[in-house]
Amino acid sequence: MLNLARRLPVSPQQLAEALESLGLDGTQHLIVHSSLKSFGTLEGGAGTLLGELERHTATLVAPAFSYQTLLRGPESPIHAQFARGTRVSRDIGRLSQSLVERPDAHRSLHPALSFVAVGEQAGAVLERQTLANPYAPIGALYDLGGSALLVGVDHSSNTSIHYGEYLAGMPLLTRYLPENGRVTACSFPNCSADFERLAPYVQPLTAHAGRSRLRLYRVRELVDATVRLLRQDPEALLCTYPSCRCQQVRTSVRRDGLRPRAHAADSEVLPPQLRELSTQN
Ligand SMILES: CC(C)(COP(=O)(O)OP(=O)(O)OC[C@H]1O[C@@H](n2cnc3c(N)ncnc32)[C@H](O)[C@@H]1OP(=O)(O)O)[C@@H](O)C(=O)NCCC(=O)NCCS
Ligand SMILES: [Zn+2]
């Protein structure tokens, strides 16, 4: 019986009930990371997920990263500039792409690590982002008492942990991007393959919709737990794949230790025209 129920398409009503059981009542400021396939089939697909999330939050934020803009090095030729409508990378997911396609959504214009948001605090959350502090929108959610929702995905998709790494003082990598026709260096995060190792230190509220498991966290708890864990063991969240950039970070952190960073917004800000735009502008 249970197995049959888990194979049936998930209705918008079932999804709404799952969100409500997590306490989402339309007043929360939320970042979401999702897999549509995790439901089995969701009636109405990304449109349903977006609609129900929006109905149950005050502000809805999602990563809208576009890794295709990254350049191989400082001398690389520039083929394409980032624009408001640049496609979201496939491994960020369909929900984020659907949000980007909404004309009323705000999108921060970091060339590779943009965020997209709708609702009450959308502009305020996104305008914190800088090239040196690409995850600052998570800092804004931290200040707002916001939440992070994982829909059928694990902590390897949980961007809030990257902000914890940033604050704890993990070395960031340098990557190159086109910005206003010039090549610009930017801070780039470590890989997240082993972020599930944070799970024992954070307590989610959990719900199910069809086959999908939904886990809701307070951004503050995620970020604070990451900082605590990394202070204890700076290598705790680095993966062990020999060819991964994590090994470069491991060498650097063993040599230099952590260099904690401040939570406040950095002084190096993107030029105003790059900070945040809605398509109406
Ligand atoms: C990588 C990831 C997006 C893959 O999940 P996914 O479910 O395969 O992909 P999406 O959520 O984009 O949904 C698209 C898929 O849903 C399927 N789909 C379409 N309609 C559907 C429906 N109504 N019901 C269920 N699945 C549906 C599509 O077939 C498509 O699969 P395909 O690409 O094989 O054709 C997901 O695992 C993930 O990691 N998401 C979070 C990403 C993130 O926030 N990262 C932050 C970086 S720090
Ligand atoms: Zn790695």
- Please write the tens of the pLDDT for every residue from 24-69: 999 999 999 999 999 999 999 999 999 999 999 999 999 999 999 9
Asked whether residue 205 is assigned to any structural domain, the reply reads yes
Ligand 1 and 37: CB distance under 6 A? yes
Q: Under DSSP, is residue 145 helix (H, G, I), strand (E, B) or coil? A: coil
Domain presence at residue 272: no
Which has the closest alpha carbon to 215: 12, 17, 19, 5? 19
Place of tokens 């945040």: 276
Inside any domain, residue 268? no
| Band of residue 3 on the pLDDT scale cut at 50, 70, 90 | low
Cα of 101 vs its chain's centroid, Å: 18
The answer to whether the CB of 189 is under 6 A from ligand 1 is no
How many C-beta atoms lie closer than 10 Å to residue 10's C-beta? Answer: 24
The pLDDT assigned to 4 comes to 66
For the record, the structure tokens of 246 come out as: 């994590």
Is 53 contained in some domain? yes
Give the C-alpha separation, 33 to 18, whole Å: 16
Question: What SS3 class is residue 199?
Answer: helix
Percent of the chain surpassing pLDDT 90? 81
Which ligand 1 atom lies nearest to the CA of residue 91? 1
Q: How many Å apart are CA 118 and CA 213, to the nearest integer?
A: 24
Would you say residue 275 lies in a domain?
Answer: no
Instruction: Compute, in degrees rounded to 10, the torsion defined by CA atoms 145, 259, 136, 243.
Output: -110
Give pLDDT tens digits for 90-147: 999 999 999 999 999 999 989 999 999 999 999 999 999 998 899 999 999 999 999 9
Residue 31: is it exposed, middle or buried by C-beta count within 10 angstroms (0-12/13-18/19+)?
buried
Three-point CA angle 140, 145, 148, nearest 5°: 80
Counting ligand 1 atoms within 8 A of each CB, the residue from 94, 97, 99 with the most, and so the one to mutate, is 94
DSSP assigned state of 249: H
Q: Are 155 and 200 spatial neighbours (Cβ–Cβ below 8 Å)?
A: no
**Number of the ligand closest to the Cα of 97:** 1
Q: Is residue 270 part of a domain?
A: no
Q: What are phi and psi of 177, to 5 degrees?
A: -140, 150
Q: Burial level of 60, CB count in 10 A (0-12/13-18/19+)? A: buried
Distance CA 123, CA 79 (A): 29
Does some domain include residue 163? yes
How many angstroms separate the CA atoms of 197 and 92, rounded? 21
On whether the CB atoms of residues 177 and 68 are closer than 8 A, the answer is no
- Tens-place pLDDT, residues 219-249: 999 999 999 999 999 999 999 999 999 999 9
Domain carrying residue 84: 2-261
How many domains in the chain? Answer: 1
Q: Is 119 in the pocket of ligand 1 (CB under 6 A)?
A: no
State the SS3 of 73-127. CCCCCCCCCCCCCCCCCCCCCHHHHHHHCCCCCEECCCCCCCEEEEECCHHHHHC
Report the pLDDT value the prediction gives residue 273, as an integer from 0 to 100.
40
CA–centroid distance, residue 127 to ligand 2 (Å): 29
Give tens-digit pLDDT for 165-205: 999 999 998 999 998 889 999 988 889 999 999 999 999 99
157 belongs to a structural domain: yes
